[in-house]
């Protein structure tokens, strides 16, 4: 294509039309990649997805456990995230000098801890008994520590060159990530199957302390962290998106090792695990090794999905966090899950309203009215496996208020409900979706994440590419319809930080 | 145009050869000996280098896997060069370069065109670097490059967009005391480099209000010349054609006389200090302690890299996080910079009640790594980890060209990373002890705590005389 300069809206429209027809290179790329993806399901239900990419002798590994904080109930909030941490504590083989001896002490620790909790929860605990139990507990922890090889999982993985060792927990999923030189494929199989076959939740109570520090750091010392916690609690009165991934402090202080073992047995079985491996590997070898290593894990039934559904909202809800901080605004509207037919139209609405410098919110609130320094929209908050929220975030400019931001956002919502989006805007969304997908595909780790997400949440890895076709088929009327259906006052929750004097 | 071919021989070190043979179908335990087959060789891409008549230096790497193209321009400039009365000038210049429009188009037009093309152009100026970057689909790269060319050659820095940048800065200033780790790193830089140093100072309402459009035009003119810039481009193109395209788009950028100011020097006085910032509304302390670090050009940098890994993970993480459960975030790191000395710091964020205890452990660990040699196992883990993960420096072609252009920009040898690697291979326990003793000064650390003192386990004064730092934001005049 020749060098082209645009200087009038007509030329811009031409660019938009070109966007629809000129993406054949991307379409070919997507088709080629789709054809290269291979899958294999073990008899125990565990699924492997492989995309061979031979550009560099490395591979990224992504284990997606279809369980997150939405699967938690009262009393054990935060337990999915605890399990994310505990997966680094080793197994009967890794992280111990003598598992047989160690396990006896771990049992004793649990038993003393139970007595301690029991005493402490009495209306009038006996201080002498509490002190004695605490002493016993500390003594046993010290004994157990004698058998521990500190962080051996990390040591073994990092020594083999793991360049992306990590894990994440969200409302929907617990995910474990590695990136290794590709000749370490079998080593990864051995380490990871061991992780799910023989986990030992050692150093449990110390790790709980670390997680409490994580809660303080990420949430309690952050005004916006506090706001999001309260906002979710108000927006979801029934569905467990109600609570933050990190969990409530009182639950973190009370969850036991036995709770974690029970939760692990229920949710981390092979039928609930999907693995994607992207990089310089051969799919047939991956599948052969997967049979060898992961078939050992006994099958288990696929856990029941979350039963509780968020009921229809009866009126606008509001929540305020008072803090020594400047104003911050979040507005959320209930929308359906990622597999719903309206999801792509809602993504389009979010993009046109609130993503990028030419989006309507940025143009209005930031550039024209100068009342905010950022204003954005997105769907899928806090997760998208279940019906979730379409959210707006606005950070008021110095001296401006959240009320001004809210009013300006509402103006844009009303406008998009009345007037159709322009062909330029629609084309922009379509083309940017293609570009975003290409960018994510260019990286082994992000592609592995995307493949597992699409397979589990969207219902098949191929949906990743189908989405692009669905996006290309969207019309201005689709967007107008979903705006009118979902962005209504009775369906929303507004949260804000109220600055303390 | 000259061509570099990568040396595959340099990468032999990442191949760990078979030690024992295993049977193909049996399961191994994670701690069994593994037979690692030969890693497929790293295919080094051809990096084309070219220089346009106006002095613009180009590095190009073709990557045909996906139909996208990324290009970046580095310009020798930095916030380190702005006057102390106008802190924020460089940052505003960097952002308004992209947002403030060109002679032919307004900033809004550019925003719309780029979004429609699904292309993005970013620009910014950090301490030691000014950059512009483009990311586009192959099919719309030409238009994006055209816009970039206008931006870099003919920016107009519209007053309205300057005001927008000032609002962003003022808003950031008004919100800068809300996060304790942000407060700690900002104030710690002042302790190390000095509150007026180009590496320690920060924006204030008065310094932002003092920035005029003329200042911005002058700053831009002082540095933005093709003979002061380096370009890297990677993606779905033919190099020969791309050189022509860039020549057409950026060849008309006129050669100039850029300022050749040296990077400001750092004058560090060693001292032991204890500093405190009161934040009564939080339940944790953000702790930083340390002193000046060094340069990447230091011959001891490879040994320091290994010492860093041992200090940060083997010592701080394993002790403070895993054994003690005191913090989620903990580190210890000897920072090295390209053109000015970095910072050596240890830090953690822990509940108020364990503040002083955590500091005492950090100081103990610092002393311990200077008292005796690290363990064979610790050294082996750190070195193997570095060497086995070295291959990830070649995971994508854009990484490779990005590294080359960065080394060219900072005046480092093009094979700098290979040099470091070959020296890391030779690092011994004695080397680690030697550099720890030479570069760590636990008796001359500056300690900073941001938190709620009423809840501390012990008064900070047990560590020494406490200097109270005031972080009240000076109001706008």
Do A23 and B137 lie within an 8 Å CB cutoff?
yes
Give B259 to chain A, closest Cα distance, Å: 32
| Chain B residues near residue A141 by CB distance under 8 angstroms | none
Please check whether residue B31 lies inside any domain of the structure: no
Do A159 and B249 lie within an 8 Å CB cutoff?
no
The 10 Å Cβ neighbour count of residue A103 is: 16
In this predicted structure, what is the pLDDT of residue A481?
Answer: 98
Give mean pLDDT, residues B249-259. 96
Tell me, yes or no, whether B429 and B328 share the same domain: yes
In this predicted structure, what is the pLDDT of residue B451?
Answer: 98
| Chain A residues near residue B384 by CB distance under 8 angstroms | 159-161
Q: Would you list the domain boundaries of chain A?
A: 58-96+148-294, 317-499
Nearest by CB to A15, which of B36, B117, B145? B117
Q: Is the dihedral of CA B138, B140, B146, B148 positive or negative?
A: negative
Please check whether residue B209 lies inside any domain of the structure: yes
In this predicted structure, what is the pLDDT of residue B2?
Answer: 45
Nearest by CB to B175, which of A194, A220, A326? A326
Average predicted confidence (pLDDT) for chain B: 94
In this predicted structure, what is the pLDDT of residue A7?
Answer: 32
Residues A177-208: tens digit of each pLDDT: 999 999 999 999 999 999 999 999 999 999 99
In this predicted structure, what is the pLDDT of residue B25?
Answer: 64
Tell me, yes or no, whether B246 and B281 share the same domain: no
Q: Is the dihedral of CA B356, B362, B368, B370 positive or negative?
A: negative
Residues B422-468: tens digit of each pLDDT: 999 999 999 999 999 999 999 999 999 999 999 999 999 999 999 99
In this predicted structure, what is the pLDDT of residue B26?
Answer: 84
Q: Is B376 on the interface with A (CB under 8 A)?
A: no
Give B409 to chain A, closest Cα distance, Å: 26
Do A3 and B142 lie within an 8 Å CB cutoff?
yes
Q: Which of A12, A290, A442 best probes binding to B when mutated, by most B CB atoms within 10 angstroms? A: A442
Do A326 and B389 lie within an 8 Å CB cutoff?
no
Tell me, yes or no, whether B304 and B415 share the same domain: yes
Angle between the B429-439 and B355-371 helix axes, to the nearest 10 degrees?
130
Do A431 and B284 lie within an 8 Å CB cutoff?
no
Nearest by CB to A55, which of B36, B65, B318? B65
Structure tokens at B292: 């000046």
Distance between alpha carbon B235 and the CA centroid of its chain, in Å?
A: 24
Q: Are β-strands B446-451 and B284-292 bridged in parallel, bridged antiparallel, or unpaired?
A: antiparallel
In this predicted structure, what is the pLDDT of residue B477?
Answer: 84
- Residue A185: closest CA among chain B residues belongs to which residue? B36
Do A326 and B174 lie within an 8 Å CB cutoff?
yes
Secondary structure letter of residue B470 according to DSSP: P
In this predicted structure, what is the pLDDT of residue A18?
Answer: 44
Q: How far is CA A379 from CA A335, A343, A472, B69, B249, in A?
A: 8, 8, 19, 29, 39
Fold of A317-499: Cytochrome Bc1 Complex; Chain A, domain 1 (3.30.830)
Q: Which of A217, A289, A325, A444 best probes binding to B when mutated, by most B CB atoms within 10 angstroms? A: A217
Question: Does the pLDDT value for residue B1 go beyond 60?
Answer: no
| Chain B residues near residue A325 by CB distance under 8 angstroms | 175, 178
Task: Decide if B92 contacts B211 (C-beta within 8 A).
Answer: yes
Same fold, A58-96+148-294 and A317-499: yes
In this predicted structure, what is the pLDDT of residue B43?
Answer: 86
Per-residue exposure over A173-184, b if at least 16 CB sit within 10 Å of its own CB, e if not: bbbbbbbbbbbb
Q: Which of residues 134-163 of B touch A (CB under 8 A)?
A: 135-140, 142-143, 145-146, 163
| Per-residue pLDDT tens listing for chain A (501 residues) | 233 333 333 333 444 444 444 467 888 999 999 999 999 999 999 999 999 999 999 999 999 999 999 999 999 999 999 999 999 999 999 999 999 999 999 999 999 999 999 999 999 999 999 999 999 999 999 999 999 999 999 999 999 999 989 999 999 999 999 999 999 999 999 999 999 999 999 999 999 999 999 999 999 999 999 999 999 999 999 999 999 999 999 999 999 999 999 999 999 999 999 999 999 999 999 999 999 999 999 998 999 999 999 999 999 999 999 999 999 999 999 999 999 999 999 999 999 999 999 999 999 999 999 999 999 999 999 999 999 999 999 999 999 999 999 999 999 999 999 999 999 999 999 999 999 999 999 999 999 999 999 999 999 999 999 999 999 999 999 999 999 999 999 999 999 999 997
Tell me, yes or no, whether B227 and B282 share the same domain: no
Please check whether residue B473 lies inside any domain of the structure: no
Tell me, yes or no, whether B217 and B297 share the same domain: no
Residues A51-64: tens digit of each pLDDT: 999 999 999 999 99
Which 3 state secondary structure label does DSSP give A421? coil
Tell me, yes or no, whether B162 and B94 share the same domain: yes
Which helix (DSSP H) or strand (DSSP E) does residue A445 occupy?
helix A444-453
- Residue B38: closest CA among chain A residues belongs to which residue? A183
Residues B107-122: tens digit of each pLDDT: 999 999 999 999 999 9
The DSSP code sequence of B198-213 is TTT----HHHHHT--H
Tell me, yes or no, whether B310 and B205 share the same domain: no
Task: Decide if B387 contacts B14 (C-beta within 8 A).
Answer: yes
| Chain B residues near residue A163 by CB distance under 8 angstroms | 389, 392
Residues B239-250: tens digit of each pLDDT: 999 999 999 999
Question: Does the pLDDT value for residue B127 go beyond 90?
Answer: yes
| Chain A residues near residue B350 by CB distance under 8 angstroms | 213
| Chain A residues near residue B326 by CB distance under 8 angstroms | 209, 213
Give B313 to chain A, closest Cα distance, Å: 10
Of B136, B139, B157, the closest CA to residue B69 belongs to B136
| Chain B residues near residue A367 by CB distance under 8 angstroms | 108, 164
Please check whether residue B334 lies inside any domain of the structure: yes
Q: Which of residues 244-263 of B touch A (CB under 8 A)?
A: 245, 248-249
Give A315 to chain B, closest Cα distance, Å: 33
Residues B349-379: tens digit of each pLDDT: 999 999 999 999 999 999 999 999 999 999 9
Please check whether residue B22 lies inside any domain of the structure: no
Do B116 and A424 lie within an 8 Å CB cutoff?
yes
Tell me, yes or no, whether B188 and B283 share the same domain: no
Do A163 and B99 lie within an 8 Å CB cutoff?
no
Nearest by CB to B139, which of A1, A158, A428? A1
| Chain A residues near residue B29 by CB distance under 8 angstroms | 93, 190, 194
Of B168, B158, B159, B163, the closest CA to residue B106 belongs to B158
SS3 sequence, B311-338?
A: HHHHHHHHHHHHHCCCEEEEEEEECEEC
Do A4 and B142 lie within an 8 Å CB cutoff?
yes
| Chain A residues near residue B163 by CB distance under 8 angstroms | 370
Please enumerate in sequence order all residues whose Cβ is within 8 A of that of B23, keeping only pairs 6 or more positions apart, or say none: none
Tell me, yes or no, whether B246 and B285 share the same domain: no
In this predicted structure, what is the pLDDT of residue A15?
Answer: 41
| Chain B residues near residue A184 by CB distance under 8 angstroms | 34, 36
Select from B189, B218, B250 the last residue of a domain: B250
What's the CA gap between A415 and B151, in Å, rounded?
33
Q: Which of residues 34-53 of B touch A (CB under 8 A)?
A: 34, 36-43
Q: Is the peptide bond before B369 cis (omega within 30 degrees of 0)?
A: no
Nearest by CB to A181, which of B313, B381, B391? B391
Q: Which of A24, A26, A27, A57 best probes binding to B when mutated, by most B CB atoms within 10 angstroms? A: A57
Residues B280-333: tens digit of each pLDDT: 999 999 999 999 999 999 999 999 999 999 999 999 999 999 999 999 999 999
Give B35 to chain A, closest Cα distance, Å: 9
In this predicted structure, what is the pLDDT of residue A388?
Answer: 98
Tell me, yes or no, whether B222 and B135 share the same domain: yes
Overall number of domains in chain B: 2
Q: Which of A193, A216, A284, A369 best probes binding to B when mutated, by most B CB atoms within 10 angstroms? A: A216
Tell me, yes or no, whether B244 and B304 share the same domain: no
Tell me, yes or no, whether B290 and B221 share the same domain: no
Could you tell me the residue range of the domain that residue B455 belongs to? 273-468
Q: Which of residues 298-337 of B touch A (CB under 8 A)?
A: 313, 317-318, 321-329
Give mean pLDDT, residues B77-86. 97
| Chain A residues near residue B236 by CB distance under 8 angstroms | 25
Question: Does the pLDDT value for residue B78 go beyond 80?
Answer: yes
ipTM of the complex: 0.93
Per-residue exposure over B171-204, b if at least 16 CB sit within 10 Å of its own CB, e if not: bbbbbbbbbbbebbbbbbbbbbbbeebbbbbbbb
Nearest by CB to B143, which of A4, A203, A280? A4
pTM for the full predicted model = 0.94
Question: Does the pLDDT value for residue B14 go beyond 90?
Answer: no
Do B391 and A57 lie within an 8 Å CB cutoff?
yes
- Residue B116: closest CA among chain A residues belongs to which residue? A428
The DSSP code sequence of A114-125 is HHHHHHHTSSS-
Of A262, A265, A242, the closest CA to residue A317 belongs to A242
Architecture of domain A58-96+148-294: 2-Layer Sandwich (3.30)
| Chain A residues near residue B27 by CB distance under 8 angstroms | 190, 193, 292-293, 296
CATH number of the domain that B343 lies in?
Answer: 3.30.830.10
| Chain B residues near residue A366 by CB distance under 8 angstroms | 164
């Amino acid at each position: 294509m020749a060098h082209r300069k645009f200087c009038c809206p007509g030329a811009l429209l031409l660019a938009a039309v070109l966007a629809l027809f000129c993406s054949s290179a991307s379409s070919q790329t997507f088709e080629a990649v789709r054809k290269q993806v291979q899958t294999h399901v073990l008899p125990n239900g565990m699924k492997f997805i492989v995309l061979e990419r031979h550009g560099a002798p490395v591979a990224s590994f992504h284990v997606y456990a279809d369980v997150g904080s939405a699967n938690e109930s009262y009393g054990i909030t935060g337990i999915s995230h605890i399990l994310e941490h505990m997966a680094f504590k080793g197994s009967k083989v890794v992280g111990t000098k003598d598992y047989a001896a160690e396990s006896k002490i771990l049992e004793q620790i649990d038993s003393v801890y139970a007595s301690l909790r029991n005493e402490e929860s009495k209306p009038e605990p006996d201080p002498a008994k509490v002190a004695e139990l605490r002493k016993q507990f500390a003594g046993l922890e010290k004994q157990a520590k004698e058998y521990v090889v500190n962080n051996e999982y990390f040591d073994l993985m990092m020594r083999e060159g793991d360049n992306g060792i990590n894990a994440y927990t969200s409302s929907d999923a617990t995910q474990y990530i590695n990136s290794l030189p590709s000749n370490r494929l079998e080593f990864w199989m051995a380490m990871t199957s061991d992780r799910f076959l023989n986990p030992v939740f050692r150093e449990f109570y110390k790790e709980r302390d670390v997680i409490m520090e994580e809660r303080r750091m990420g949430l309690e010392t952050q005004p916006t962290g506090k706001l999001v916690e309260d906002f979710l609690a108000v927006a979801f009165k029934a569905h467990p998106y109600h609570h933050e991934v990190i969990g409530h402090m009182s639950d973190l202080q009370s969850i036991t090792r036995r709770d974690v073992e029970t939760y692990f047995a229920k949710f981390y079985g092979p039928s609930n695990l999907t693995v994607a491996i992207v990089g310089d590997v051969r799919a047939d070898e991956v599948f052969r090794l997967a049979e060898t290593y992961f078939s050992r894990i006994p099958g288990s039934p696929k856990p029941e999905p979350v039963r509780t559904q968020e009921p229809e909202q009866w009126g606008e809800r509001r929540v305020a966090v008072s803090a020594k901080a400047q104003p911050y605004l979040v507005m959320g509207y209930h929308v359906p899950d990622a597999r719903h037919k309206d999801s792509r139209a809602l993504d389009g609405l979010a993009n046109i309203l609130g993503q990028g410098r030419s989006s309507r919110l940025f143009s209005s609130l930031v550039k024209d009215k100068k009342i905010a320094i950022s204003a954005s929209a997105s769907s899928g908050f806090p997760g998208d496996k279940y019906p979730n929220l379409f959210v707006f975030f606005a950070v008021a400019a110095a001296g401006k208020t959240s009320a001004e931001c809210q009013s300006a956002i509402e103006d844009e919502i009303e406008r998009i409900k009345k007037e159709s989006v322009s062909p330029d805007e629609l084309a922009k969304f379509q083309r940017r979706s293609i570009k975003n997908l290409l960018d994510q595909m260019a990286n082994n780790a992000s592609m592995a994440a995307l493949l597992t997400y699409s397979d589990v949440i969207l219902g098949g890895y191929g949906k990743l590419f189908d989405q692009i076709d669905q996006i290309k088929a969207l019309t201005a009327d689709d967007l107008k319809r979903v705006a009118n259906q979902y962005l209504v006052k009775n369906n929303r929750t507004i949260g804000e930080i109220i600055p303390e004097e | 145009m000259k061509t570099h071919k990568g040396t595959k021989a340099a990468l032999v070190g990442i191949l760990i050869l078979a030690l024992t043979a295993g049977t193909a179908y049996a399961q191994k335990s994670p701690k069994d000996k593994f037979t690692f087959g030969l890693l497929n060789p790293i295919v080094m891409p051809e990096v084309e280098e070219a220089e346009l008549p106006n002095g613009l230096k180009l590095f190009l790497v073709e990557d045909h896997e996906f139909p996208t193209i990324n290009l970046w321009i580095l310009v020798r400039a930095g916030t380190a060069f702005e006057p102390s009365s106008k802190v924020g000038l460089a940052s505003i210049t960097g952002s308004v370069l992209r947002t403030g429009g060109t002679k032919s188009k307004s900033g809004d037009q550019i925003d719309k065109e780029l979004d429609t093309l699904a292309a993005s152009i970013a620009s910014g100026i950090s301490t030691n670097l000014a950059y512009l970057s483009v990311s586009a689909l192959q099919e719309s790269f030409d238009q994006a490059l055209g816009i970039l060319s206008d931006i870099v050659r003919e920016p107009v820095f519209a007053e309205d967009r300057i005001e927008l940048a000032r609002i962003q800065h003022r808003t950031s200033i008004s919100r800068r005391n809300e996060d304790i780790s942000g407060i700690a790193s900002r104030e710690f830089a002042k302790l190390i480099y000095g509150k007026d140093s180009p590496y320690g100072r920060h924006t204030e309402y008065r310094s932002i209000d003092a920035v005029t459009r003329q200042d911005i035009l002058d700053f831009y003119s002082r540095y933005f010349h093709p003979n002061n810039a380096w370009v890297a481009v990677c993606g779905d193109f033919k190099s020969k054609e791309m050189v022509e395209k860039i020549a057409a788009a950026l060849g008309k950028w006129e050669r100039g006389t850029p300022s050749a100011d040296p990077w400001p020097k750092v004058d560090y006085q060693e001292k032991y200090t204890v500093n405190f910032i009161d934040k009564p509304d939080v339940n944790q302390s953000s702790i930083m302690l340390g002193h000046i670090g060094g340069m990447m050009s230091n011959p001891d940098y490879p040994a320091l890299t290994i010492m860093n890994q041992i200090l940060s993970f083997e010592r701080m993480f394993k002790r403070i996080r895993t054994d003690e459960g005191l913090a989620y975030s903990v580190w210890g790191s000897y920072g090295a910079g390209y053109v000015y000395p970095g910072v050596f710091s240890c830090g953690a964020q822990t509940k108020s009640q364990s503040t002083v205890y955590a500091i005492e452990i950090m100081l103990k660990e610092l002393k311990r790594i200077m008292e005796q040699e690290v363990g064979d196992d610790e050294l082996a883990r750190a070195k193997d980890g570095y060497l086995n993960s070295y291959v990830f420096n070649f995971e994508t072609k854009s990484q490779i060209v990005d590294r080359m252009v960065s080394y060219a920009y900072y005046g480092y040898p093009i094979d700098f990373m290979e040099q470091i690697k070959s020296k890391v291979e030779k690092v011994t326990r004695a080397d680690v002890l030697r550099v720890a003793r030479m570069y760590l000064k636990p008796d001359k650390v500056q300690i900073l705590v941001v938190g709620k003192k009423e809840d501390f386990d012990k008064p900070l004064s047990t560590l020494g005389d406490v200097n109270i730092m005031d972080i009240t934001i000076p109001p706008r005049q």
